[in-house]
């Protein structure tokens, strides 16, 4: 019998620490704020693991993804004692803790980089990617930064260029240097020894580049690299500046490191990998023969495809077909880089998306605030903080990082800051869309998420059962069955604003146990199921 681990059967909840709960009154969230909300996560919502976006010391050029110290906590968020208390308090509630790890680049203020750029002879010079100018004095090649312009920055003092795949304040570490692998793996051990249960690896596929630094070819179509516009970056096929085959050896060793800590409690890893060719993406699982890699390479496909039943079904079926039998799927519909579901799909379809996320085979990850239907906050260009939004107008990420809406009081219960000015503004709907109000409303989005998670926990079929799609249904509906042993659930999702009838799902009787509108629990007979506009249902099938 297969033994399933917590990272397979559980529900992961992403927390953006700056925006979850502020206990210091400075308008910015912190670790103590997360500790104070653990009962909400464990008891009200029922999640199994939290993933924390970066909380490390940082100049905040990219809001923490420019790390100045990999083994500490930024004073803005608290200190290591606070982190240890978070681990203890989370584990007491059977909540696992996953943290961000940023291996591709550090901050330019990291002591390693300060030494590296100090001279050509410094022992840490080769800890970062340096290269001589071309004969004409320009950048070493044509590689571009995700955030705009060349990926190379000239250091006037030493006369060489350093590589930065993102901001110039984020120099790329040289993973071809064994010393970098050694010291970076030591940072992993530091957090594992403190009780961390897993790591989300930032831009995991970037760490190994072409050792010959060859030019990228032009993109004839300007295809979107991250499924959203990246300006000049989309003018190239990014063949040589990331994802070199040598990357897989690094992650095989990374997996071995984690497995060495897994005897007492299973540790896990999830990789941020923006690859949409299935055969390339699936390689990041590794293999039992060559060596395992990520437990879960993040599956971003449903962020890319149109929100249409046929497109979503095709993406799910393709994932199921490409996965080896031993690998475990996962789904994510939103995160700190993406617009919120209620803004992308509308509130009714955001409810359908909740059912889809929490009933598909695989591990679901929920972004904070989605469970109450938070929406994007449009921020005037002059007030935007996100460096990507400043580079690509209209695509800033501030809009989906706004403070969590806990109640209808001052600052939505996020902060006791005595004057206006949270780090980002609240949505205007916070007096209606908040945890306190929705927790008391039987038809709310929060109630839907809570009921879905509870149903998932109680069902072997939904946690770990097989998936199979149902054919011969309307084109704007996605219908599938989850089954384990004698338990079978039918999930029927209507992507249409019109009523739809499902009558070819292979069973004559059953019972609706959950509707996205939370107002139906009725028997199914004669093998017919009627779906209202924009409705999703979960039904248990009699066999």
pLDDT confidence of 223, banded at 50, 70, 90?
low
What average pLDDT does range 140-157 have in this prediction?
A: 96
Record the pTM: 0.97
With CA atoms as reference, report the closest residue to 168 among 189, 190, 144.
144
Q: How far is CA 93 from the centre of its chain?
A: 23
pLDDT of residue 227: 55
List alpha helices for 305-434, DSSP H.
309-322, 341-345, 347-359, 387-391
What average pLDDT does range 285-305 have in this prediction?
A: 97
CB-based contact 146:168 (threshold 8 Å): no
pLDDT of residue 419: 84
pLDDT for 226 beyond 80: no
pLDDT for 228 beyond 70: no
pLDDT tens string 332-376 = 999 999 999 999 999 999 999 999 999 999 999 999 999 999 999
HSE (CB half, 13 Å, CA atoms) of 235? Answer: 11
pLDDT for 389 beyond 90: no
pLDDT of residue 221: 75
What average pLDDT does range 84-93 have in this prediction?
A: 98
H or E segment at 152?
strand 152-154
What average pLDDT does range 91-119 have in this prediction?
A: 98
CB neighbours of residue 18 within 10 Å: 26
H or E segment at 447?
helix 445-458
- Which domains does the chain carry? 6-101+178-452 (3.20.20.80), 466-541 (2.60.40.1180)
pLDDT tens string 161-210 = 999 999 999 999 999 999 999 999 999 999 999 999 999 999 999 999 99
Q: Active-site residue numbers?
A: 202, 272
pLDDT of residue 74: 98
With CA atoms as reference, report the closest residue to 319 among 365, 279, 370, 373.
279
Write the CA distances from 4 to 7, 13, 266, 334, 528, integer angstroms: 8, 19, 11, 25, 34
pLDDT for 543 beyond 80: no
pLDDT of residue 95: 98
pLDDT of residue 498: 98
pLDDT of residue 508: 83
pLDDT of residue 395: 80
Q: Average pLDDT, whole number, for the chain?
A: 95
Residue 504: partners with Cβ closer than 8 Å, 6 or more residues away: 470, 471, 472, 473, 527
pLDDT of residue 438: 98
pLDDT for 248 beyond 90: yes
pLDDT for 526 beyond 90: no
Residue 114: partners with Cβ closer than 8 Å, 6 or more residues away: none
pLDDT of residue 231: 73
pLDDT for 242 beyond 90: yes
What average pLDDT does range 430-440 have in this prediction?
A: 97
Task: Please state, in angstroms and rounded to a whole number, the distance separating the CA atoms of residues 221 and 542.
Answer: 51
pLDDT for 407 beyond 80: yes
pLDDT confidence of 224, banded at 50, 70, 90?
low
pLDDT of residue 381: 85
């Amino acid at each position: 019998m297969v033994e399933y681990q917590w990272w397979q059967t559980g529900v992961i909840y992403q927390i953006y620490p700056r925006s979850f709960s502020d206990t210091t009154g400075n308008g910015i969230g912190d670790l103590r704020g997360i500790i104070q909300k653990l009962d909400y996560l464990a008891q009200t919502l029922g999640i199994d693991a939290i993933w924390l976006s970066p909380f490390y010391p940082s100049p905040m050029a990219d809001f923490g993804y420019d790390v100045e110290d990999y083994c500490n906590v930024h004073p803005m968020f608290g200190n290591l004692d606070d982190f240890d208390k978070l681990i203890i308090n989370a584990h007491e509630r059977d909540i696992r803790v996953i943290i961000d790890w940023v291996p591709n680049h550090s901050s330019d203020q990291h002591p390693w980089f300060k030494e590296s750029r100090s001279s050509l002879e410094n022992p840490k010079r080769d800890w970062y990617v340096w290269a001589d100018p071309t004969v004409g004095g320009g950048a070493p090649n044509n590689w571009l930064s995700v955030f705009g312009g060349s990926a190379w920055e000239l250091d006037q003092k030493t006369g060489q260029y350093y590589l930065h795949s993102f901001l110039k304040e984020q120099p790329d570490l040289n993973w071809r240097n064994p010393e970098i692998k050694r010291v970076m793996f030591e940072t992993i051990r530091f957090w594992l020894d403190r009780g961390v249960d897993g790591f989300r690896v930032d831009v995991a596929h970037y760490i190994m580049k072409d050792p010959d630094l060859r030019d990228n070819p032009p993109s004839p179509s300007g295809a979107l690299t991250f499924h959203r516009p990246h300006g000049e970056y989309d003018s190239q096929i990014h063949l040589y500046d990331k994802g070199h085959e040598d990357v897989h050896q690094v992650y095989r060793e990374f997996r071995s490191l984690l497995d060495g800590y897994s005897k007492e409690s299973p540790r896990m890893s999830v990789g941020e990998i923006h690859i949409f060719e299935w055969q390339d993406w699936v390689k990041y699982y590794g293999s039992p023969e060559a060596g395992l890699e990520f437990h879960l390479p993040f599956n971003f496909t449903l962020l890319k495809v149109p929100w249409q039943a046929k497109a979503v079904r095709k993406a799910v079926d393709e994932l199921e077909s490409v996965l080896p039998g031993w690998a475990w799927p996962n789904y994510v519909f939103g995160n700190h880089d993406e617009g919120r579901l209620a803004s992308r799909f509308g509130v009714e379809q955001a409810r359908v998306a909740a059912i889809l996320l929490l009933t598909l085979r695989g591990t679901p990850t929920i972004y904070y605030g989605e469970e109450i239907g938070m929406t994007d906050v449009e921020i005037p260009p002059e007030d935007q903080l996100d460096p990507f939004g400043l580079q690509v107008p209209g695509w800033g990420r501030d809009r989906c990082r706004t403070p969590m809406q806990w109640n209808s009081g001052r600052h939505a219960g996020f902060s006791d800051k005595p004057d206006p000015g949270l780090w980002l503004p609240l949505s205007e709907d916070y007096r209606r869309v908040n945890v306190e109000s929705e927790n008391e409303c039987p038809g709310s989005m929060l109630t839907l998420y809570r009921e879905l998670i509870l149903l998932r926990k109680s069902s072997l079929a939904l946690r770990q059962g097989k998936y199979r799609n149902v054919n011969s249904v309307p084109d704007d509906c996605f219908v599938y069955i989850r089954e384990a042993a004698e338990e079978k659930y039918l999930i029927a999702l209507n992507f249409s604003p019109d009523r739809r009838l499902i009558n070819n799902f292979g069973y004559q009787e059953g019972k609706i146990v959950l509707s996205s509108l939370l107002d139906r629990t009725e028997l199914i007979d004669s093998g017919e199921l009627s779906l209202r506009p924009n409705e999703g249902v979960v039904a248990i099938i009699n066999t």
